[in-house]
Amino acid sequence: MSDFTSEFWSLYIAVITVVSIIGCGVFLRSLSVKRVPGSTVETMGHVWDGDLEEYNNPLPKWWMWLFYITLVFAAIYLTLYPGLGSYKGVFGWTSRGQYEAEEAKADARFGPIFDKYLKMPITEVAADPAAREMGQRLFLNYCAQCHASDARGSRGFPNLTDNDWLYGGDPETIQTTIMNGRNGMMPPLGATLGEEKTRDVANYVLSLSGRPHDDLRAARGKATFETICAACHGPDGKGNHALGAPNLTDGTWLYGGGESTIIETINKGRNGHMPAHGEFLGPAKVHLLAAYVWGLSHTGGGTTPAQ
């Protein structure tokens, strides 16, 4: 890999670029030489539409000068900005430098506003109309892709407007979730349980939330559930916030609550990933975002995002 980062390749790219620009200029010059008066005009042998022929006349001057201006622009640009290998240009411009300059400008302008809310409890931030509006914009930019613009989620992505939480819905836990992300994993158990026991457990899970089920299979599945599944979901099936194991006794289902879907979940398992936003957004923006999300499911705090 070091062969591709040596000075040779920088010089190689610079030489190829300069030679290409000069070559284009020479080629352009050769095509724009004036024809000697009285000399024979020959065709290039190309004919279109029966009588439209291509002759070897020089390029029109306006077209020729446009090409020359392009070459001059390229030379000036490559002098001022990077483009010739490792040469940084007169201005020393870099995309990272521009990004950092824009970040610094934005921090100087909006930093005091974010710091103001960072010092306030999340519950108070959620009750502030201006803070909710800022939180809504952050949500639409960074969260709506998975949780939808109305925050009601979709298959595999939690609804944030109700009071059902995998890891807990208090302000601090929501902030931790946004900051550090979450990795939820339901292991595949189909090979361990087999087809019949899987159906038995699925029917027992259905019975926990009062859904239609096979009573005989549910009775057989209870023992298997208590042996294998209760370690995460609890003996009563009410879940475990510490593990992110969902409550199986309510009517909220992340992937669907039909028998076939539950069997699929038991057979193949599930892998849920909530990416960490702390390093990208920073504590102040995460604080605002957490306040907005918390407010979505609490009276007097937050509003549903605009459709």
* Structural domain spans, the chain: 1-34+52-91, 106-181+275-296, 184-274
As a whole number of angstroms, the distance between CA 74 and CA 134 comes to 43
Per-residue pLDDT at 303 exceeds 50: no
Q: What is the pLDDT of residue 28?
A: 87
- If you average pLDDT over residues 222-248, what whole number do you get? 94
As a whole number of angstroms, the distance between CA 73 and CA 67 comes to 10
Q: Which CATH superfamily is domain 184-274 in?
A: Cytochrome c-like domain (1.10.760.10)
As a whole number of angstroms, the distance between CA 286 and CA 304 comes to 18
Average pLDDT score over the chain:
89
DSSP assigned state of 3: G
27-41, 103-117, 143-157, 233-247: least confident range? 27-41
Burial of 55 (0-12, 13-18, 19+ CB in 10 A): exposed
How does residue 86 score in pLDDT terms, banded at 50, 70 and 90?
confident
How does residue 4 score in pLDDT terms, banded at 50, 70 and 90?
low
Per-residue pLDDT at 2 exceeds 70: no
How does residue 77 score in pLDDT terms, banded at 50, 70 and 90?
very high
Is CATH 3.40.250.10 the right assignment for the domain spanning 106-181+275-296? no
Q: What is the percent of the chain where pLDDT is above 70?
A: 93
- If you average pLDDT over residues 219-230, what whole number do you get? 95
- If you average pLDDT over residues 81-106, what whole number do you get? 91
The residue written with tokens 């050769």 in the block is: 30
- If you average pLDDT over residues 256-285, what whole number do you get? 94
The residue written with tokens 């289902």 in the block is: 253
**Are the beta carbons of 205 and 248 closer than 8 angstroms?**
yes
Q: What is the pLDDT of residue 261?
A: 95
Convert the pLDDT of each residue in 200-217 to its tens digit. Answer: 999 999 999 999 999 999
Q: What is the pLDDT of residue 38?
A: 58
Within this chain, domains 106-181+275-296 and 184-274 share the same CATH topology: yes
Q: What is the pLDDT of residue 52?
A: 87
Q: What is the pLDDT of residue 1?
A: 45
Please work out, in degrees rounded to the nearest 5, the angle formed at the alpha carbon of residue 214 by the alpha carbons of 208 and 217: 85
